[in-house]
Amino acid sequence: MRRLHGTAGYVVTGLKDTPISTAGLLDERGEPKVALETYRAFNSDTVLLIDWARRRVWQAGGDRPANLDPYNHVGGQAAYPCLLLSHFGKPLPPVLSLRWRLQVADTEQASGQELIDLPQGDPPVFLCQLKIPLPELFAFGSTPKPLPACFEVHLEGHGKPLTSNRWRWQLYPRPEWRMLWQVALYDPSLRFGEWDLEPTVFLPSYMPPTTKTLLLATTLPPWLAEWVAEGGRCVVWLPPLRQHTVSLPFWREATHQFLPHRFWEQLGFMPDHLGQLPHS
């Protein structure tokens, strides 16, 4: 919202939850559903924004967007976030100090500081592009696994804090492509057409693969559940989604609370953080 020139603001359609709508900013008791610091991160006069370089890929008939995932990164590489500033109000100091740090699994891994001459122009203005080294996940254990990361930025002027923001990332182990298992493809509808990835085993409908094979399936064969229960690994591709979902009402403008659950803990989010994660 703050990154787009054409967006002048937003409308709150419901301040408080009602029996037929939980889209309010306040719950049924009139208490805030999201911490005020979370709103200040995007609703203050001065807001730090993050953006990423745009990429394209050439396909038959022209080029297409091929932008990087802004939230999921591979360890052992570097991330290159662009920092922007959206400011309305009194003029800011001409020279700003920007401090950043990266925490992985609650441990600081990298930090830095930049002195920036405040650019002129309509907000948001470009401040700088950073190079953030991402650690190899082998340093966190013999068997690497995805870990949560937090990228935090603070902006100061004349030695006084102006604003800050943070973004949650997920880091993944670097893929060892040469160590991948053999791929088995179960595709009776021929959705993948001329699949030529090696090594690939093409399965008939009546024969499951061995448990040491990674299976890619475009439908649900009768033997799949038992095969997975015995240790098989499978990715099921089910397009189009309307064949496997049920259309139900959904509130577009809503504030939701993430309550403590085992699922969030497995993703690395601790219960005391869940109430501060807005989703709409």
Give 194's pLDDT tier (boundaries 50, 70, 90).
Answer: low
CB 219 within 8 A of CB 211: no
pLDDT at res. 99 = 97
Partnered with residue 215 across adjacent β-strands are 184, 234
Taking a C-beta distance cutoff of 8 angstroms, is the pair 244, 226 a contact? no
Per-residue pLDDT reduced to its tens digit, 111-132: 999 999 999 888 899 999 999 9
Under 8 Å between Cβ of 271 and 265: yes
Question: DSSP readout, 138-174?
Answer: GGG-SS---EEEEEEEEEEETTEEEEEEEEEEEEEPP
- Cα separations in angstroms, 22 against 16, 254, 268: 8, 7, 27
Percent of the chain with pLDDT over 90: 33
Predicted model pTM: 0.67
Nearest to 181 by CA among 115, 145, 231, 242: 231
Burial of 52 (0-12, 13-18, 19+ CB in 10 A): middle
- Nearest CA-CA partner of 153 in 46, 57, 229: 46
What integer pLDDT is reported at residue 278 of this predicted model?
A: 43
The larger pLDDT score, comparing residue 74 to residue 215, is at 74
pLDDT confidence band for 245 (50 / 70 / 90) = low
Owner of token pair 């038959």: 60
Tell me, what's the pLDDT at 260? 78
Among 51-60, 119-128, 191-200, the least confident range? 191-200
Cis peptide before 70 (omega within 30 of 0): no
Residues 30-45 pLDDT 10s: 999 988 888 888 889 9
Helix ranges restricted to H, the chain: 36-43, 224-229, 262-266, 271-274
Q: Which of 36-45, 209-218, 241-250, 251-260 has the highest mean pLDDT?
A: 36-45
Token pair listed for 13: 């359609």
Residues in the chain: 280
- By the 8 A CB rule, do 100 and 111 touch? yes
3-state secondary structure of 137: helix
Q: What are phi and psi of 175, to 5 degrees?
A: -65, 135
Query: Measured between alpha carbons, how far is residue 244 from residues 187, 219, 220, 268 in Å?
Result: 17, 11, 11, 29
Q: What is the pLDDT of residues 214-233, one digit of tens each?
A: 888 888 888 888 888 888 88
Q: What is the mean pLDDT of residues 172-182?
A: 71
Question: Whose structure tokens read 């809503």?
Answer: 254
Residue whose C-alpha is closest to residue 91's, from 173, 162, 42: 162
